[in-house]
Amino acid sequence: MLSLNITNIEKLIFHDQKVRSLFPEFQSLFKQWQFAKIHDLRSIQQQCLLNFLNSVNNDHISTLKEHFECEVTLTKINNQIVENKTIPISDLENVLRDIEGEYQDFAVYRDKDQIYISFWR
């Protein structure tokens, strides 16, 4: 089993031309990463890795499974500073339980049966 995360995705995906060719929709991201690597712009390289990691969907994971010939899991990173959610009152407890610990602060607004929450770090 192969677990892809921010620490190994550069070596396994970005440095391997064969793997990069499997994802034509990410070619601009790969080119941006290469440019940042040549010019030693580490923050842009890291942002490219995060963008790729957070953009991968189930179809991409299936492609990676076929390429690596093993199970592939992906650990995404939520790097958003603010997140807004609209939640029915009936689901509020479950949503808050799932988000617990991710954000430091939040604001709540209620309109009839809907709860609007803005979370921020």
Q: Whats the size of the chain, residue-wise?
A: 121
Condensed to tens digits (0 to 9), the pLDDT of residues 76-106 reads: 887 777 888 898 988 888 887 877 667 778 8
Condensed to tens digits (0 to 9), the pLDDT of residues 48-69 reads: 999 999 899 999 999 999 999 9
What integer pLDDT is reported at residue 24 of this predicted model? 95
| Distance in angstroms (rounded) separating the CA atoms of residues 75 and 43 | 20
Q: What is the average pLDDT score of the chain?
A: 89
Please name the residue that has the structure tokens 């929450």. Answer: 117
Is the model's pLDDT at 12 over the cut of 80?
A: yes
How many CA atoms within 13 Å lie on the side-chain side of 117?
A: 17
Q: Which residues, 6+ apart, have CB-to-CB distance to 19 below 8 Å?
A: 12, 13, 64, 67
What integer pLDDT is reported at residue 104 of this predicted model? 77
